């Protein structure tokens, strides 16, 4: 596990070390926005007891959002959501066999009562999960709100500053 010095408010978990290539994009944005977080490999299938422990301790540990990435039979986000009321955002990792459609459907098709906020497959989903987590925290944290507003303003200005797609 890696973590920022202050207590983590967002947990970024993934089913395998192989998911890091995707999930690093969530972590990069959390870091850019100055949001305390932790990263951990927690596998629904290979470490089910750890999954339950992580979810059961999430509230008391002060986690406010969990971002969970998984691929293939992607049960991690749904099972975390089943064991905690902390909001879970699921990131479908692009699988080799089915290009992430299996991951997407595994995460999105939750039964009524246990929601998982499901993002796009891959890098875009990971980044947007971090931005959604920031939006949740921004409701009660002015510093995060300011950082998120600044990120969005910079993004907009970057598009406006370079209207010609052929220029550098």
Binding residue positions for substrate:
16, 19, 46
Residues that bind ligand RP5 (CB under 6 A): 15-16, 18-19, 43, 45, 70-72, 93
Residues in CB range of 49: below 8 A, 6 or more apart: none
Nearer to ligand RP5, 3 or 47 (CB): 47
Nearer to ligand RP5, 65 or 107 (CB): 107
Nearer to ligand RP5, 33 or 129 (CB): 129
Report, in Å, the least distance between residue 82 CB and ligand RP5. 17
Cα atoms in the 13 Å half-sphere on the side-chain side of 22: 31
Token pair in block for residue 117? 């906020």
Nearer to ligand RP5, 72 or 134 (CB): 72
Annotated binding site: 16, 19, 46
Report, in Å, the least distance between residue 37 CB and ligand RP5. 19
Residues in CB range of 139: below 8 A, 6 or more apart: 145
In degrees, to the nearest 5, what angle opens at C-alpha 112 toward C-alphas 106 and 116?
A: 45
Report, in Å, the least distance between residue 133 CB and ligand RP5. 19
Report, in Å, the least distance between residue 109 CB and ligand RP5. 17
């Amino acid at each position: 596990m890696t973590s920022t010095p202050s207590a983590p408010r967002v947990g970024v978990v993934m089913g395998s070390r192989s998911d890091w290539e995707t999930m690093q994009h969530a972590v990069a944005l959390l870091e850019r926005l100055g949001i305390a977080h932790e990263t951990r490999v927690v596998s629904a299938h290979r470490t089910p007891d750890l999954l339950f422990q992580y979810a059961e301790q999430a509230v008391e540990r002060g986690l406010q959002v969990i971002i969970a990435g998984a691929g293939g039979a992607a049960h991690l986000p749904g099972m975390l959501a089943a064991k905690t009321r902390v909001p879970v955002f699921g990131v479908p990792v692009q699988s080799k066999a089915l290009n992430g459609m299996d991951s997407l459907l595994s995460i999105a098709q939750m039964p009524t009562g246990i929601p998982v906020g499901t993002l796009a497959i891959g890098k875009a989903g990971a980044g947007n999960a971090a931005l959604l987590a920031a939006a949740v925290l921004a409701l009660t944290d002015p510093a995060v709100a300011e950082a998120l507003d600044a990120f969005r303003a910079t993004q907009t200005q970057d598009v406006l500053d370079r209207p010609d797609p052929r220029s550098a």
